[in-house]
Amino acid sequence: MLSFGSLFSSAALLAAAFAPTVLADNPVNPSFRYGSTKVRGVNLGGWLVLEPWITPSLFDNTGNSAIVDEWTFGQFQSRNTALATLQNHWNTWITEQDFIDIANAGLNHVRIPIGYWAFETGPGEPYISGQLPYLQQAVVWARSHGLKVIVDLHGAPGSQNGFDNSGHRISFPGWHSNSTNVARTNAIIKRIASLFINDQDVVSVIAPLNEPAGFDGSDVLSTVRQYWYDSYGNIRFPYGTSQQSNTVVLLHDAFQPLSYWQGYQTPPNWQGVAMDTHIYQMFSQDEVSRSNQQHIQAACNMASSLSSFDLWLIVGEWTPAATDCAKYLNGRGIGARFDGSYTGSTRVGSCNGITGSASSFSSSYKTFLRQYWEAQTITYEKASGWIQWTWKAENADDWSYQAGLKGGWIPQNPTQRQYPNICG
């Protein structure tokens, strides 16, 4: 936790940005009309931060079951092997053609997860760096093809949630309880804001931390709330003066109900703040046990809470998948609740034909995927819009926007509806 003193030491002139009583900041003028034009986008998941379920081959090919995240990917194999594998992956998983295809699909945003280890690593941290030039190249491609970029810090020192997608799968997150971890993270956000200071026409949003584990209690939440204040200063005031950027600050809800954040960093004292909420219906026994119609209805039922929130609100992760069947979705070597292979779960049904290759999907299942996709996008556009997780996956077509376009359950134009009245 940063002390009060250290918060202000870096730039006393930013004090006004943190005090609720000050005169209003200048209204932000971002390069995308948030709030009036809907965000429609995809995440470039599994590219600059590895996730075992998105690219299981990278993990299976190591022949070592202890390699379960990017930390162990660097820890338990030769550095040269790991680096060569990663470089090949960075060069091939996402290319300019993907940006062309995303733009041609009528989308306007890409959210790009990146880990802190792309910027710096500390003693004993086995991460391999080298991702940053690819993020910079992505911004060039996005500019060429008319897309906006959300730079998303997806992993922080110590891990903010213990998930494999934070880089380090651990039983309890260590980011929030160590002030050095938080200070390192603040320095990285300053660096990101500085790196893209002249790219605000493309990098319209910086998300200072993905999914901090607010469910782990008040200690996490108090650190997160202070870190969100720090991030506001770091992102909106990148020039070292009182001059402000036009970059939007996208805060994650830390798994709290939106009501928890009501009135937090709202205008006029804060300008250009948006809230990110992630909506999945498969990470509990109750959710995975829902019928198809119950999944659709649950999505539709979110409309009022999403539309009434007091900041720009983006559903920054969601999926047309309705089960946790995708291989390694719950972690490498961990099974699925849906088929009962997850410890302590109750079997709902077989995973055959609902994940993996779309060639195994029945026409009725593809109809459901289309209905669920439409129910969600209709609902999330009651807020400021949506960014689907994820653009592509090796072997989980139910999650893949690219596969959905090819398979017909995602329309070639995201405003096209076969079920315009699915939510009534």
Q: Which residues are catalytic?
A: 211, 317
The rounded distance, in Å, linking the Cα atoms of 245 and 228 is: 17
The alpha carbons of the chain give a radius of gyration, in whole angstroms, of: 21
Half-sphere exposure of 128 (CA within 13 A, CB side): 21
Q: How far is CA 378 from CA 191, 281, 414, in A?
A: 36, 17, 10
**Hey, how many other C-beta atoms are within 10 angstroms of the C-beta on 151?**
28
Question: Which segments within 12-97 are labelled E, that is strand?
Answer: 39-43
The rounded distance, in Å, linking the Cα atoms of 316 and 279 is: 8
The rounded distance, in Å, linking the Cα atoms of 232 and 269 is: 11
Burial class, 52, CB count within 10 angstroms (exposed 0-12 / middle 13-18 / buried 19+) = buried
> What residues form DSSP beta bridges with 313?
275
The rounded distance, in Å, linking the Cα atoms of 140 and 146 is: 10
> What residues form DSSP beta bridges with 42?
110, 388
The rounded distance, in Å, linking the Cα atoms of 306 and 31 is: 23
Residue 84, C-beta contacts closer than 8 angstroms, at least 6 positions apart: none
